[in-house]
Amino acid sequence: MSENQDFNWDELETSGFGDGYSDSEKAKMLEMYEGTLNDVEENEVVEGTVVSITDREVVLNIGFKSDGLVPRNEFRDVEDLKIGDSVQVYIENKEDAQGQLVLSRKKAKIVKAWEQIQGAFDNDAVIEGVVKRRTKGGLIVDIFGIEAFLPGSQIDVKPIRDFDVFVDKKMELKVVKINYANDNVVVSHKVLIEKDLEEQKQQILNNLERGQVLEGVIKNMTNFGVFIDLGGVDGLLHITDISWGRISHPDEVLNLDQKVNVVVLDFDDEKKRISLGMKQLTPHPWDSLPETVDVGARVKGKIVNVADYGAFLEITPGVEGLIHVSEMSWSQHLRNPQDFIKVGEELEAQVLTIDREERKMSLGIKQLTEDPWTQKDLIEKYAVGSKHKGIVRNLTNFGLFIELEEGIDGLVHVSDLSWTKKIKHPSEFTKVGEELEVVVLEIDPEARRLALGHKQLEENPWEHFETVFVPGTIHNGTIVNKTDKGAIIELQFGIEGFCLNKFLKKEDGSMPETGETVEFRISEFSKDDKKIGLSHVATYKEEKPKAPKAAKKPAGKPASTPTEQASTTLGDLDALAELKKNMKDGE
């Protein structure tokens, strides 16, 4: 057993320890002792002195009646901690269950950090932080041991495309927002730059003049142009002012962060908008266009744009000519230039007109080939009666146009499509793009006109129909269509006839339907008009000729018997009519 364990503390209490002091002296000494202690409160930060260091704890004297303990791992950022060092600590508990004073250096640092952050915010002070990592929409920055958010839009006055270049870098900042509920701090580096830039911006605007050449840096690109930083103030370089040649996007000729020289075209003092130009720093290409480029000359270039009415051929950057759709091909049926020419295609054309003052030029492609209507053997090639095959290019109400070769078109009138069918519109017979065989009916090279026929490939069948569809004969017919006046009937050989509604009725009083086949009697046939009249009623009801009134019986002649009357012929009827007339005249 140790000496301390053998010590009799009870004996000490009764041994008169301190009996040499009077009560007043004891009170005075107690007052002096209390005066050496600090009056501390929980949840506050105080200064403490290191009195001892172990592997697990650091003992600190904060002037309280007992020393406090801080975990050793809270001093990992201090390499040479030693006894006697002053340290700020946070009082978590003045006396825990074991009567121990509990301190925290970590919490003390957090409290002090928030006090410094609030102070920097209140005083609009500039602080320094270290970028720890990138995050969505910005960067995480360490300020006084607290993680703050630096939005991407607050890093610089110009858009930042690569946030990683700032990681582990020191940066001057200003606190712009504090949210204690979420322990959130927002900082900005941009506000520090804007103040200096505002002075530069105002100086630039005060000295700005139209025609002034400035150096700037491309900070942003759009489809319509680029924004250029002129040293604190931005200007817009429109896409049409980048190059004399036609471009579809600025990135074809420019790059982000590129330094460029630009000229001031216009500016607005109130809205502080500056319009810039780049192509204006070089002469216009039309001014240096060779004199050899004239009417009739052949030029080469690249198609830069295709519109509904034609295409633009760029001979040199900034010098373009229009190839109208009518000058692309000898064919009269080229409707969409995009079917014939593509953007980026390189081709040759002939200058048709040129105006150097107006900087306009019209070009043609078809002129590089021979006009097909001027061929020497055209008359022989398309002689009247010759047969050819062509492609249907267009349909109209009166006929269709067939292209026999590029530039050679002919008209087939709707009446020349079929001998037998009544075609109201060519779409009933064919469609665009189909091949059709035709025969030449007429040709006029000077008027560039070619009359064609399709039905003429066969003999006129109406010569034969005249012997088949004799008036009075009966034929089967199918109702193919009905109109207000009657029905169109398809007979044999595909020929069509017409039956009026009053002659269409069936014997039972009903009307036949479309698609139904019934008998018809030929009531009319016209070879010249290609017309056939029909009647269904006549197949079951023949109209008998009306008998004339009986004439007065001559004296001495007996009346005719019923048998004799029944055998009276048409000739007899005519004789009787003549006799009646004579008798009236005699009277």
pLDDT of residue 38: 52
pLDDT of residue 583: 47
Separation between Cα atoms, residue 189 and residue 153, nearest integer Å: 9
31-35, 135-139, 426-430, 502-506: segment of lowest average pLDDT: 31-35
* Mean pLDDT on 309-337: 85
pLDDT of residue 19: 54
pLDDT of residue 573: 43
The answer, yes or no, to whether residue 563 has pLDDT greater than 70, is no
Q: Do 494 and 474 lie in a common domain?
A: yes
pLDDT of residue 162: 83
Asked if the structure places residue 577 within a domain, the reply is yes
Q: What percent of the chain has pLDDT over 70?
A: 82
- 72, 55 Cβ separation under 8 angstroms: yes
Q: Do 328 and 385 lie in a common domain?
A: no
Query: If you search the block for the tokens 């009725």, which residue do you land on?
Result: 505
Separation between Cα atoms, residue 238 and residue 219, nearest integer Å: 14
Question: Tell me, what CATH number does 364's domain have?
Answer: 2.40.50.140
- What phi and psi values does residue 492 have, to the nearest 5 degrees? -65, 160
Q: Do 437 and 421 lie in a common domain?
A: yes
Asked if the structure places residue 335 within a domain, the reply is yes
Q: In this predicted model, what pLDDT tens digit does every residue of 40-85 receive, in sequence order?
A: 666 677 777 778 888 788 887 777 766 778 877 777 767 777 788 7
- Of 246 and 38, the one with more pLDDT: 246
Using DSSP, state whether 32 is helix, strand or coil: helix
Separation between Cα atoms, residue 234 and residue 231, nearest integer Å: 8
Model confidence at 36, pLDDT cuts 50, 70, 90, reads very low
131-145, 358-372, 432-446, 561-575: segment of lowest average pLDDT: 561-575
* Residues facing residue 298 across a β-bridge: 350
Asked if the structure places residue 115 within a domain, the reply is no
Q: What is the pTM of this model?
A: 0.44
Domain boundary among 281, 300, 315: 281
* Mean pLDDT on 197-202: 73
- Of 61 and 213, the one with more pLDDT: 213
Q: In this predicted model, what pLDDT tens digit does every residue of 448-503 receive, in sequence order?
A: 889 999 988 887 777 788 888 999 999 999 999 999 999 999 998 888 899 999 99
- Of 270 and 393, the one with more pLDDT: 393
- What phi and psi values does residue 377 have, to the nearest 5 degrees? -100, 20
Separation between Cα atoms, residue 365 and residue 326, nearest integer Å: 10
- 59, 100 Cβ separation under 8 angstroms: no
Model confidence at 341, pLDDT cuts 50, 70, 90, reads confident
* Residue among 409, 421, 403 at smallest CA distance from 448: 409
The answer, yes or no, to whether residue 569 has pLDDT greater than 50, is no
Query: If you search the block for the tokens 């319509």, which residue do you land on?
Result: 224
Model confidence at 93, pLDDT cuts 50, 70, 90, reads low
The answer, yes or no, to whether residue 21 has pLDDT greater than 70, is no
- Of 3 and 516, the one with more pLDDT: 516
Q: Do 483 and 415 lie in a common domain?
A: no
174-178, 419-423, 536-540: segment of lowest average pLDDT: 419-423
The DSSP code sequence of 203-254 is HHHHT--TT-EEEEEEEEE-SSEEEEE-SSSEEEEEGGGT-SS--SSGGGT-
Q: Do 426 and 474 lie in a common domain?
A: no
Taking residue 442's Cβ as centre, other Cβ atoms within 10 Å add up to 12
SS (H, E, C) 498-557: EEEHHHCCCCCCCCCCCCCEEEEEEEEEECCCCEEEEECHHHCCCCCCCCCCCCCCCCCC
Asked if the structure places residue 5 within a domain, the reply is no
Q: Do 291 and 353 lie in a common domain?
A: yes
pLDDT of residue 440: 92
Rg of the chain in Å (alpha carbons): 56
Instruction: Domain count for the chain, please give it.
Output: 6
Asked if the structure places residue 13 within a domain, the reply is no
- What phi and psi values does residue 28 have, to the nearest 5 degrees? -65, -45
Residues of the domain holding 481: 463-539
Q: In this predicted model, what pLDDT tens digit does every residue of 399-449 receive, in sequence order?
A: 999 988 888 889 999 888 887 777 889 998 899 889 999 999 999 888 888
Q: Do 271 and 346 lie in a common domain?
A: no
pLDDT of residue 25: 52
151-155, 161-165, 499-503, 557-561: segment of lowest average pLDDT: 557-561
With residue 564 as reference, give the H or E element that holds it. helix 562-566
Model confidence at 20, pLDDT cuts 50, 70, 90, reads low
Query: If you search the block for the tokens 């919490």, which residue do you land on?
Result: 107
Q: Do 99 and 56 lie in a common domain?
A: yes
Q: Do 403 and 446 lie in a common domain?
A: yes
Q: In this predicted model, what pLDDT tens digit does every residue of 143-156 receive, in sequence order?
A: 888 888 988 888 88
Domain boundary among 227, 259, 281: 281
Asked if the structure places residue 225 within a domain, the reply is yes
Asked if the structure places residue 40 within a domain, the reply is yes
pLDDT of residue 29: 52
Asked if the structure places residue 448 within a domain, the reply is yes
* Mean pLDDT on 296-304: 91
Q: Do 416 and 451 lie in a common domain?
A: yes
Q: Do 473 and 495 lie in a common domain?
A: yes
* Mean pLDDT on 236-246: 89
Model confidence at 349, pLDDT cuts 50, 70, 90, reads very high
Domain boundary among 409, 426, 457: 457
* Mean pLDDT on 91-108: 71
Q: Do 343 and 410 lie in a common domain?
A: no
Mean confidence (pLDDT) of the chain: 80
Q: What percent of the chain has pLDDT over 90?
A: 26
Separation between Cα atoms, residue 463 and residue 44, nearest integer Å: 124
Separation between Cα atoms, residue 507 and residue 289, nearest integer Å: 89
The answer, yes or no, to whether residue 7 has pLDDT greater than 70, is no
